[in-house]
Amino acid sequence: MKLKYIFYLEFALSIYTLFLAAFWPEKFLMTITGMELAENPLAVELSRWYAVLLGFLQYTFMASLHQRHWYIFRHILWVLLIGDLAHLITTVTMALNYSGWNNGLFLSLGVTIFYGSTRIVALFRPQWIGRYYIYSPG
């Protein structure tokens, strides 16, 4: 099994999300909240800031995957896994307190659980990533 292909799929989906959040923030916000937030300039700008942070995070993720250094990539996976947990909590909180469940939130929940599970497998079975990794202590 080569988990690297799942990581490439995640990267592609994240780049799509990045462009949506940066250049079409109204559509991005409508997708995740189910509410029309275009008239709220703060929500639109926060969407763009999310895109900037997502870009740096995904660059770091891909760079560490191509570096083939397990010590670095392992730390990136842990950071992303913690982010997945925070994303799950935020998604459930938003659905329960604000917008209710919609297709965008269900998709977000499913994708986050899938990628989080993939990260857990990669952390405990790094040979399944499909690349030769330099193992270092730590």
* Tens of each residue's pLDDT in the chain, 138 residues: 588 889 999 999 999 999 999 999 988 888 887 777 667 788 889 999 999 999 999 999 998 888 877 888 889 999 999 999 999 999 899 888 877 888 888 988 999 999 999 999 999 888 888 765 555 555
CA proximity to 24, closest of 37, 10, 11: 37
Rounded to 10°, the helix 70-94/103-124 angle is 150
